[in-house]
């Protein structure tokens, strides 16, 4: 179970970082969200994965640690606020710049075609 859980956290982290490196703002926001999900799962797993753990001390011999759960709830609230801020910032940048590219510049067709030609031929013109 721990291997599947850690693989899911790793997959979410990898997808989040991949989307963070994209050129448009919407994939960046989705990448931040996936990365925050991965961090939340990592914080939750830091308390140990216990099955049938009681939430009240004395009810059972095995109990669930409440600290990681509190950390995850706090991280969810902070992640939601961060996502809302990033969306508002992206909307403002779209309105001011007229495009949704991260750096604010739209790659021209001539520049994009010369870059693809260079990458295919392996030499610069």
Question: What backbone phi and psi angles, to 5 degrees, belong to 54?
Answer: -75, 150
Across the chain, how many H-helices and E-strands are there? 4, 0
> What are the structure tokens assigned to 44, written together?
């939750």
Q: What's the CA gap between 114 and 66, in Å, rounded?
A: 57
* pLDDT range class, residue 118, cuts 50, 70, 90: low
* pLDDT range class, residue 100, cuts 50, 70, 90: confident
8 Å CB contact between 49 and 3? no
Burial environment of residue 99 by CB neighbours within 10 A (0 to 12, 13 to 18, 19 or more): middle
pLDDT, position 125 = 45
pLDDT, position 69 = 82
Residue 86 lies in domain = 2-121
The number of distinct structural domains making up the chain is 1
Q: What is the CATH number of the domain that holds 54?
A: 1.10.287
Higher pLDDT, 97 or 83: 83
Predicted model pTM: 0.70
Average pLDDT over residues 84-106: 85
Nearest CA to 17 out of 6, 4, 28, 5 is that of: 28
The predicted-structure confidence for 14-68, as pLDDT tens digits, reads as follows 999 999 998 888 899 999 999 999 998 888 887 776 676 666 667 777 777 778 8
> What are the structure tokens assigned to 92, written together?
């403002």
């Amino acid at each position: 179970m721990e291997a599947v859980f850690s693989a899911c956290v790793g997959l979410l982290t990898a997808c989040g970082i991949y989307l963070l490196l994209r050129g448009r703002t919407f994939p960046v926001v989705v990448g931040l969200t996936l990365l925050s999900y991965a961090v939340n799962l990592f914080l939750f797993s830091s308390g140990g994965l216990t099955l049938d753990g009681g939430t009240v001390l004395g009810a059972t011999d095995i109990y669930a640690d409440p600290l990681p759960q509190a950390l995850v709830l706090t991280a969810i609230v902070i992640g939601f606020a961060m996502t809302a801020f990033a969306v508002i910032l992206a909307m403002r940048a779209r309105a001011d710049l007229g495009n949704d590219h991260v750096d604010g510049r739209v790659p021209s067709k001539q520049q994009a075609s010369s870059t693809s030609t260079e990458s295919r031929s392996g030499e610069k013109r």
